């Protein structure tokens, strides 16, 4: 997680080689107001959940940490008392209706202004699946490396 934060924050130079130096550098970079988003948080280990809290406790800024994820995300946060006690807001977001997606997406970064909406039929049908086996792969998986 330290290396991911280092690359996301983009400080000059190379990542420090010792954990204490690394944490000091990250805390310094986090002194200006930032939002740290941890997506798919339900898959983080307890150690990975604890590390942002560790940085947050030792930072003199208005660091905001957002844990986002699917089923099990909030339960994972609740299982960590030191982290759960710092949760100030919980927001559950449901599925966005297709007509709202077609309206909102083009309003985002310029690349989405050229977005061609797909038909509602193809947007709402379930993806096709196949059985994987020797010499076959599911259409949702990448080719073997």
pLDDT at 107: 77
Which tokens in the block code for residue 33?
């107001």
Closest C-alpha among 10, 43, 15, 38 to residue 2 = 15
- 16 is a domain residue: yes
Residues 123, 103: Cα–Cα separation, whole Å: 14
- 138 is a domain residue: no
Tell me 133's DSSP state: B
- 6 is a domain residue: yes
- 104 is a domain residue: no
- 45 is a domain residue: yes
Tell me the per-residue pLDDT of 49-96, one tens digit each, with 9 for 90 and over.
788 878 877 667 777 888 888 888 888 888 877 777 777 888 888 888
Which tokens in the block code for residue 67?
């844990």
- 96 is a domain residue: no
Domain range holding 86? 2-91
Phi/psi of residue 38, nearest 5 degrees:
-110, 100
- 70 is a domain residue: yes
Q: Total domain count for the chain?
A: 1
pTM for the complete prediction?
0.58
CB-CB contact of 33 with 3 (8 Å): no
- 12 is a domain residue: yes
């Amino acid at each position: 997680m330290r290396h991911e934060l280092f690359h996301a924050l983009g400080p000059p130079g190379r990542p420090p080689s010792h954990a204490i130096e690394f944490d000091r550098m990250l805390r310094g970079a986090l002194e200006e107001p930032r939002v740290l988003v941890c997506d798919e948080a339900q898959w983080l280990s307890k150690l990975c959940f604890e590390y942002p809290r560790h940085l947050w406790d030792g930072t003199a800024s208005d660091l905001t940490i957002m844990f986002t994820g699917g089923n099990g995300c909030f339960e994972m946060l609740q299982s960590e008392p030191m982290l759960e006690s710092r949760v100030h807001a919980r927001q559950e977001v449901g599925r966005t209706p297709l007509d709202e997606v077609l309206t909102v997406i083009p309003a985002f970064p310029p690349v989405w202004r050229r977005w061609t909406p797909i038909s509602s039929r193809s947007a709402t049908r379930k993806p096709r699946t196949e059985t994987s086996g020797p010499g076959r792969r599911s259409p949702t998986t990448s080719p073997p490396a």
